[in-house]
Structure 1
Amino acid sequence: MAKRVVALGLLAGAVLAGCAADLAHDRSNHGSNTTQSPSALARPVAAAAPRTTASVPAPKPKPQPKPRPNACAGNTEAQLVLVSVAKQHVWMCARTHLVYAGPVTTGAVDLPYDSTPTGSYRIQAKDTHTTLTLLNGDRYQVNYWIPFDAPLFGFHDSSWQSMPYGSARYRTEGSHGCIHMPLATMKFLYDWADIGATVTIHP
């Protein structure tokens, strides 16, 4: 009986020793796998560099065009047809309001007897689809004829004219004294101006 008790004591001691060894081994393994503290995991992050944008110069303001002089300023006539020989241009005015403007061709000033007369006149008549006969016998068919110094001088279209209206070539290639106008300009003048309207021609 005493031998059995001794044997059981030895067996229990062996079991306890084995458990202690396993426990020490587990503690050793847990020690090697310890997690890092939050302070150890946190790494400093470099701050993002501020974005820089290239400076764009402000656009320069465009210069405003100079206002065109009003050819009708100061006019008191209800209807005025104003012609400048030097500028080869016509302005049609309703008092101070400009209603139409455009290039014309006046008389060939460098040729004898072909200059356009200057001064103030009145529209004397209005006619369409007529034939003009010059002193030398030449005949011209026109769509519109508005004389201001009948029977020699007036406004009319000139389909035969080869040079541009408003050209400086008028000095030698202009009319025989009448004022040539493009067809559209003549039509406007015919429809707009009344008989008796003022015509002023500047040199």
Structure 2
Amino acid sequence: MTDVVTRPNADSAPDDDAIVDGPVGDAAAPPGDATTGEYAWAPAEPPKRSKHLGWWIGVPAGAAVIALVASSLVLIAPGTSIAGVPVGFSTPGAAADAVAAQLATTTVVLTGDGGDAEVTAAELGASVDSRALADRAFALHPMWNPTTWFADPSTAAVSIDEEAATTALREAAPALYTDPVDATIAFDAATASFMTTPAEPGTGVDVESVRLALQTALADGESRVELDATPAEVAAITSTATAEASTATLNSMLDTAGFYVGTERTVPIDRAVAASWITVQPTDDGTFDISADAAAIQPMVDSLAPLVNRAAENGKVITDSSGDVLREEAAGISGRALGDTSSVASDYATQLSTGNAAFTLPVTEVAPVITTLARRIEVNLSDQQAVLYENNAVVQSWYISSGKDGFNSGTGNFRINSKLTSQNMGNRDLTKAPYYFTPDVPYVMYYNGDEALHGTYWHDNFGNQMSHGCINMPVSAAEYVFDWAPIGTEVSVHY
């Protein structure tokens, strides 16, 4: 049986005998009132709930661990610094920004005479490759690797914009600057040459010393650095060496100025005139610009025709029977006519600006006619005659005296190999061979050993054999042949 507890009325005194055995049933009795003596069930104890306190504590702790691990993969290790700037616990991007910002706000304080001025690194155009430095710091010192923590600081090379730095320093401390004087070029009429006036240096602040001061300040983690502003030499934009090189080019132009036909300077140009056409101007980059005035050149172009035009002069050469030239009688000069000159002045002005003063004219040339004279000499021992041929036509002929019997002249085909206007022949000592002596034999032309054509003044028995082997000729005839036949002229001696 199940015990049932009756709940008496509150006003009734407890009665120990009130506890009685109740009936057994499957259904609970309806709630009752103790005052009426009705029965009621005691409420059942609720079930105990499971405890998950450990789980709820573990979730945030695990997330924190995951976040810590994740951050260690993208952050730079603690204790790392770049050029004096702490970048630990920073991403490479944030580290790069910190280094750049530190440099930009670093101030250089100029001291000394003319100093007492301040200028920031930003105004000086100073910079570092902060991103590359930050990326390198992360690569060498990642937060996830404790062995790389608290590494030695890395250095940073500061670069500087020299032009921006000079402008900023000059504005901050104008008393430290004096302007340099550029080298110049001018034409000197007394020497008819271009002359150089040397450059003079100015003074200012040495930009490299400012850069080094900034680099030291950045490495030391300082935001201000003092620099003794001692004046330094400032070079001129246009140097003496640059001016002298341009002067040399200009004077070389004056040396060669002219209008050319081929390699011939047909119309030279006076140095002062050429210089008057040329303008020399310095440029912003320290060099010189050369230009020329086409209008000033035009009057000379208008006067060129009579100086250039000429008729051809025909030439004449003496050859042997094979056509080989033995002597040039007249060289022959080609004729020429000046062509279209409508653009010559402007073209020449453009060419002068490149440093070239030798202008080639448009010219039509007419080749000369060269006359060829094939000359040879025939000596007929049977007829005792010498005959001159030119292009196979007889020019002249004379009776001669060849070698007498016992001294007969040799036959064959020869060439004149040497010529003497006068020569002693024989031996003064008549007791020795050839037992004759003839002084001052005129117009000697050797062709076969010691045999020669020559003038003869000691007899006039021409047409008969009289000599010791030479071909005796009247003096006037020998003089004619001497001038007419160059060395190499063919000589045929036959019967």
Which TM bucket (shorter chain)?
0.5 to 0.7
Q: Which amino acid aligns with 2:484?
A: W
Number of residue pairs aligned between Structure 1 and Structure 2: 119
| Residue 452 of structure 2 is aligned to residue 160 of structure 1 | no
8 Å CA contact 2:414, 2:447 repeated in 1:
yes
Shift of 1:95: 2.2
Runs (4+) of structure 1 exceeding 6 A deviation are: none
Q: 5+ unaligned residues in a row in structure 2: which ranges?
A: 1-319, 323-373, 428-432
User: In the aligned structure 1, how far is the partner of 2:486 from the partner of 2:434?
Assistant: 31
TM-score, reference length from structure 2: 0.23
User: In the aligned structure 2, how far is the partner of 1:194 from the partner of 1:162?
Assistant: 26
| Residue 470 of structure 2 is aligned to residue 178 of structure 1 | yes
User: In the aligned structure 1, how far is the partner of 2:435 from the partner of 2:463?
Assistant: 27
Q: Residue 143 of structure 1: which of 426, 432, 442 is its match?
A: 442
Alignment partner of 2:463: what SS? coil
Q: Please, what is the CA RMSD of the aligned residues?
A: 1.7
User: In the aligned structure 2, how far is the partner of 1:130 from the partner of 1:136?
Assistant: 16
8 Å CA contact 1:80, 1:92 repeated in 2:
yes
Q: Residue 375 of structure 2: which of 66, 79, 96 is its match?
A: 79
User: In the aligned structure 2, how far is the partner of 1:106 from the partner of 1:117?
Assistant: 10
* 1:7-22 correspondence to structure 2 within 5 Å: none
Alignment partner of 1:160: what SS? coil
Shift of 1:138: 2.2
8 Å CA contact 1:107, 1:116 repeated in 2:
yes
Q: Residue 118 of structure 1: which of 397, 411, 414 is its match?
A: 411
Cross-structure match for 1:202: 494
Q: Name which structure has the greater RCO, CA cutoff 8 Å, separation 6+.
A: 1
Deviations 1:131-154 (A, max 9, x none): 11264252212111100013x201
Cross-structure match for 2:200: none
Deviations 1:153-176 (A, max 9, x none): 01111211252x113xx2xxx101
Q: Which amino acid aligns with 2:396?
A: Y
Q: Considering only CA atoms, is the larger Rg found in Structure 1 or Structure 2?
A: 2
Cross-structure match for 2:119: none
User: In the aligned structure 1, how far is the partner of 2:382 from the partner of 2:469?
Assistant: 14
User: In the aligned structure 2, how far is the partner of 1:196 from the partner of 1:162?
Assistant: 28
Cross-structure match for 1:105: 401
TM-score, reference length from structure 1: 0.55
Q: 5+ unaligned residues in a row in structure 1: which ranges?
A: 1-74
8 Å CA contact 2:442, 2:454 repeated in 1:
yes
